[in-house]
Structure 1
């Protein structure tokens, strides 16, 4: 397997054709997996906003006041309003905002970014990252898979890791259940999140901060002869951690 970043992409602006820009810089081959940072997808889709675009309501002001009291740092209630508008649920409101996005991803602050956003205050996640991945895939010249990625903190561990927000042209998971291990025992629970693993692989070469490149290609990787499915985001019924957090207060 080979993974490499795609250099030479310009600063993405609203309305840009991300697929065409990738095609100009990368000689893609059939079977490649193209991992695209959600930041450039959001910029192309016009998801950059100013804080002035969000009028803070009563709940947002109350959240900001509480977070100020916890951290001692000033909190803009308009940012809290943006998080509320981008979320289906606030799982935690203190000591930080842990949210369920409208497409099912659980992350801090609804994934709203305040870094590398020229001429705006905030960059929201794509509204439907899987639809975005499919649109990019259809616009590329080769028969590839596309994964839209973002970095995310993880419970029980320090540090951030790239994860998949949307994908097209492949299943999200390899399902090993029903296959057998080396001793002949049938696997009963093993489901491998390959889109997350590919996102993390890509992030090793794309980088972070001001020196990052937002697209990477994974080449000579194969899904293999396994069953697959797209159940990446847990629903509430099977998410016991989220259920527990609903009963917990800071």
Structure 2
């Protein structure tokens, strides 16, 4: 497959038509998958915010005090308040705020960004990234993945992940297929939207590159069953309850 970044996109502002801007810069082909950074989706949807929008409550002040002491520098409790309000739940609040977003993604600081945001302090994730992806998919006529960068348990470094998608299943479901020895696969479900998001991140990059969109071309889902199960539900997750119990005891 080919993966390439889309050049020439302007700084995105609230109300901008991202689909039109993308279509103006690249001739999409049938079978293409467009990966769009959540940052520009959020900017177009007006998800910028300032610290003063989030007066800090007692819990936010306590979190900021603990983190400030640990880090050796003052942390703004209004940021902690923003994370609390952008989350359905905080699984941990020390040493990191590990948040469950309303759409099911689990990530540090509820995915709130503080980089590359002209005229605002913070950028919140889209309220419903899959709905955002559906609108772009309908306008562009090809599958769309809304991506973000996220840390990885047990590993250093971040990688691109999918937080919303439309026009393709989230995963290839290999269950019921067979290996070379004829053994039936019972558990393998390949999270292709995450893998495509990570591939896109290799060419869009981080920092000041200004390349928030990538196109994946000549990739084929193949003759597999599809699955949209990407975010584990609470009752399937083996990690959340132990975290809750640990922090409740602490």
Q: Which moved more, 1:148-157 or 1:71-80?
A: 71-80
Deviation at 1:69, TM superposition (A): 2.0
CA offsets, 1:189-230, max 9 Å, x none? 000000000000001111110014000000011111111111
* TM-score computed with the length of structure 1 as normaliser: 0.97
In structure 1, the partner of 2:62 is 62
CA distance in 2, matches of 1:212, 1:44: 15
* TM-score computed with the length of structure 2 as normaliser: 0.97
Unaligned runs of 5+ in 1: none
CA distance in 2, matches of 1:103, 1:70: 31
Deviation at 1:58, TM superposition (A): 1.3
In structure 2, the partner of 1:198 is 196
Within 5 Å, give how 1:36-185 maps onto structure 2.
36-140=36-140, 143-185=141-183
CA distance in 2, matches of 1:167, 1:123: 20
Q: Secondary structure at the match of 1:243?
A: helix
1:20 and 2:20 aligned: yes
Deviation at 1:65, TM superposition (A): 1.2
Unaligned runs of 5+ in 2: none
CA distance in 2, matches of 1:186, 1:167: 29
RMSD: 0.9
Q: Secondary structure at the match of 1:82?
A: helix
CA distance in 2, matches of 1:110, 1:4: 28
CA distance in 1, matches of 2:71, 2:240: 24
Runs of 4+ in 1 over 3 A off after TM superposition: none
CA distance in 1, matches of 2:79, 2:25: 36
1:221 and 2:198 aligned: no
In structure 2, the partner of 1:248 is 246
Q: How many residues align?
A: 248
